[in-house]
Chain A
Amino acid sequence: MLVEIENVAFAHAGVPVLRDFNLQIAGGQHHLLLGPSGSGKSTLLNLICGFLSPDAGVISIAGEAISVPGEARRDAIRRRHIGVVFQTLRLVSALDLVANLQLAARLAGRPATRDDAMALLDRLGLKNKARSLPRMLSQGEAQRGAIARALIARPRLLVADEPTSALDDRNTQIIARLFRELAEAEGATLLIATHDARLREWVPNSVELAPTMELAAAC
């Protein structure tokens, strides 16, 4: 299994968000984490990415426990295995697109040449925007840039938090298709936390999280 979540519990300010939660995702499987606001989607992603530590239970990525204490260890596991795309936090504002990709690759410990970065941007239709700063990009271009930034280090798990919430239907279709195609092309497993039901068309597997903050489903 690429992602293993066993008996995880997490409370925020004393209020339980997740309780006795279990989830297993095999490599190559793509899943949506669905649920309304407050259902714990983002919290679950933060736990999977090692930004938070669970109060109980174990979370492993590619066999490495990311839920154990130790920020440096969690950073290292994230660097090795996970690429993350957010709704608005997409690219480093001071760097142009190609420099963003190169920095991401370097930080992940998989330095990419300029040609590698340009090739990926080409696949995303952003070759002509390579020297553009993020503020010069449209919403759709910036989100595609963020996907490229997350994929450049060839992660085994590509995690996205509400990647299409700010996009119109056309851009949502483009982004969703790209996520699916690129994840498959790179052999990455896709996990998208969203309340955007439009994505069901592209990612059939889903985990429903209930607003009661209780375990809703497990695969």
Chain B
Amino acid sequence: MLKLVFAYLRERRLTSLLNVLLLGISAAMLVLLLQFARQAEERFMRGAQGVDLVVGAKGSPLQLVLSSVYQIDKPTGNIPFGALADLRRNSMVASAIPLALGDSFGGFRIVGTEHSYFDLQKAELAQGRTFARPFEVVVGAEMARQTGAGLGQKFFGSHGLGEQEGQTHDHIPFEVVGILAPSGSVADRLILTSVESVWDVHGIAHADHEESRPQDEHAHETARTAGPGLEPEITAILIRYRNAAAALRLPAMINRQTNIQAASPAVESTRLLTLFDAAIAALGLFGWLLAATGGLAIFAALYNAVRSREGDLALLRVMGASRSFVFSTILVEGLIIAALGAVVGLLFAHMLLWGAIGIYPSVSEAGFAASRFYFEELMVAAGVIIIGAVASALPALRVYRTSLVPILDAN
């Protein structure tokens, strides 16, 4: 039977190819949507791991979370450095990691932070050591790969975060002392240094950052009041709760203050993903409509084929083929087109993703990978095949019900 089916497919090769492509495009669109939705969701979830609360300047809570947890938006502003010590003194806080943003190099953000940030991102050193002195930096794996940064290399940071870099701080260079192993986290694309280095670059006087810990309140006060006019500030603080009760009390307590706000990455991510899901669902509907159009194309093609093949199908019955055999030849033909469409769609989607990663830096920066495969892709393939089966079953049923004698009489 397969030999016969493939012969018919060859006979109508252009129509068959167009139907395969139509279904393939719809399957590719659905798989791409799935890939984007799942990979974005995974990235959001992974990025927020270990961070219960973000504290930063007043503004959009979502912007605060995006800029400090995911490093993909501009910060809402800066907050006094003293807020870090205040929070560390709070019994509801298990850990508080400061982030000082503002500069970048080659599109990669320079983040002033502490060593505990490495643990948060599960980032390990592949080469060198961690930063110990001012202007020493550890760079992420992706940053090192794209810029070719190596140990001992020096560079000047520029004001601004990525897209529009501003004035270059060419008075003091940063030096690469460590390179991180790929971790799949935002750290892959960051340049990490001490908070003091960020202050020093901007000429902000300060005391030793480590002195801002609660046990050294004096030093903290010194840091706040030192300098000719620019006070030490940080951009955000990543908080981990000590207990579940903190989730109820700490954000409210922080938000009562006039100059800082607390935002929950879980809440903001869910809010964003809800909006994202709605868009994905709408596009998904479009994808399935496209697949249904492919099904209609198969139906139309097979329906016409059945009409033009009436004699052949009657001859098969004369030769002893059962109605089921003839029915199956049409059904299998539709199924082969649909299955090829599904396979082409899957391959096409992964190739497009691979191409997009190579061509568009933003896709690459968002951490998308072309080689990731999700079980739901098989569901998309199965859906496309079912559409093909339904579309071909109708003409096949017509053949099944056709009476032989009128066709024989006509021939």
- A contact residues vs B (CB 8 Å cutoff): 42, 46, 49, 51-52, 71-72, 75-76, 78-79, 84, 86-95, 99, 103-104, 107-109, 149, 153, 161
Residues of A close to B3: CB separation below 8 A: 95, 99, 103
Considering the chains assembled together, what is the distance between the CA atoms of A4 and B303 in angstroms? 40
CB proximity to A under 8 Å, residues B261-318: 309, 311-312, 314-318
**Contact A86 B4, beta carbon cutoff 8 Å:** no
**Contact A94 B408, beta carbon cutoff 8 Å:** no
Given A89-B318, A89-B411, output 14 extra A-B contacts at Cβ < 8 Å: A46-B408, A75-B322, A84-B318, A86-B315, A89-B314, A89-B315, A92-B7, A92-B312, A92-B315, A94-B8, A99-B3, A103-B319, A108-B320, A153-B320
Instruction: Determine whether B163 belongs to the interface, using a CB cutoff of 8 Å to chain A.
Output: no
Considering the chains assembled together, what is the distance between the CA atoms of A153 and B319 in angstroms? 10
Considering the chains assembled together, what is the distance between the CA atoms of A162 and B6 in angstroms? 32
Between-chain CB contacts (< 8 Å), 25 pairs:
A42-B409, A46-B405, A46-B408, A49-B318, A51-B404, A72-B322, A75-B317, A76-B320, A79-B320, A86-B318, A86-B408, A87-B411, A89-B411, A91-B315, A92-B7, A92-B315, A92-B316, A93-B311, A93-B312, A94-B4, A95-B3, A95-B4, A99-B3, A104-B319, A108-B320
Of all chain B residues, the one with the shortest Cβ separation from A83 is B319
Considering the chains assembled together, what is the distance between the CA atoms of A93 and B8 in angstroms? 9
CB proximity to A under 8 Å, residues B293-351: 309, 311-312, 314-323, 325
Instruction: Determine whether B11 belongs to the interface, using a CB cutoff of 8 Å to chain A.
Output: yes
Residues of B close to A78: CB separation below 8 A: 318, 320
Q: Which among B11, B320, B404 is the interface contact of A107 at CB below 8 angstroms? A: B320
**Contact A103 B4, beta carbon cutoff 8 Å:** yes
Which 6 A-B pairs rank lowest in CB-CB distance, beginning with the nearest?
A79-B320, A94-B7, A89-B411, A107-B320, A94-B11, A107-B319
- Once A and B bind, how many residue pairs between them come within 8 Å at the CB atom? 74
Considering the chains assembled together, what is the distance between the CA atoms of A77 and B311 in angstroms? 22
**Contact A93 B309, beta carbon cutoff 8 Å:** yes
Of all chain A residues, the one with the shortest Cβ separation from B7 is A94
Of all chain B residues, the one with the shortest Cβ separation from A109 is B320
Of all chain A residues, the one with the shortest Cβ separation from B311 is A89
Considering the chains assembled together, what is the distance between the CA atoms of A95 and B3 in angstroms? 9
With A87-B411, A89-B411 as contacts: A71 and B4 at CB distance below 8 Å: no
Residues of A close to B319: CB separation below 8 A: 79, 84, 103-104, 107-108, 149
Residues of B close to A71: CB separation below 8 A: 323
With A93-B11, A94-B4 as contacts: A107 and B408 at CB distance below 8 Å: no
Residues of B close to A76: CB separation below 8 A: 320
**Contact A92 B408, beta carbon cutoff 8 Å:** no
**Contact B10 A94, beta carbon cutoff 8 Å:** yes
B328 to chain A, nearest CB (A): 13
Considering the chains assembled together, what is the distance between the CA atoms of A178 and B342 in angstroms? 50
Of all chain A residues, the one with the shortest Cβ separation from B10 is A94
Considering the chains assembled together, what is the distance between the CA atoms of A71 and B317 in angstroms? 11
Q: Which among B10, B323, B325, B408 is the interface contact of A89 at CB below 8 angstroms? A: B408
With A91-B315, A92-B315, A99-B7 as contacts: A75 and B320 at CB distance below 8 Å: yes
Considering the chains assembled together, what is the distance between the CA atoms of A108 and B318 in angstroms? 10
Considering the chains assembled together, what is the distance between the CA atoms of A72 and B407 in angstroms? 19
Residues of A close to B320: CB separation below 8 A: 75-76, 78-79, 107-109, 153
B408 to chain A, nearest CB (A): 6
**Contact A88 B8, beta carbon cutoff 8 Å:** no
Mask for B377-411, Cβ within 8 A of A = 1, else 0? Answer: 00000000000000000000000000011011101
Residues of B close to A52: CB separation below 8 A: 405
Q: Which among A84, A99, A107, A153 is the interface contact of B321 at CB below 8 angstroms? A: A107
Residues of A close to B405: CB separation below 8 A: 46, 51-52
Residues of A close to B314: CB separation below 8 A: 89
Residues of A close to B408: CB separation below 8 A: 42, 46, 51, 86, 89, 161
**Contact B7 A95, beta carbon cutoff 8 Å:** yes
Considering the chains assembled together, what is the distance between the CA atoms of A88 and B411 in angstroms? 6
Considering the chains assembled together, what is the distance between the CA atoms of A72 and B405 in angstroms? 16
With A88-B411, A89-B411 as contacts: A94 and B312 at CB distance below 8 Å: yes
Considering the chains assembled together, what is the distance between the CA atoms of A89 and B318 in angstroms? 10
B12 to chain A, nearest CB (A): 9
CB proximity to A under 8 Å, residues B180-232: none
Of all chain A residues, the one with the shortest Cβ separation from B317 is A75
B312 to chain A, nearest CB (A): 5
Considering the chains assembled together, what is the distance between the CA atoms of A49 and B319 in angstroms? 11
| Of listed B7, B320, B323, B407, residue having the most chain A CB within 10 A | B320
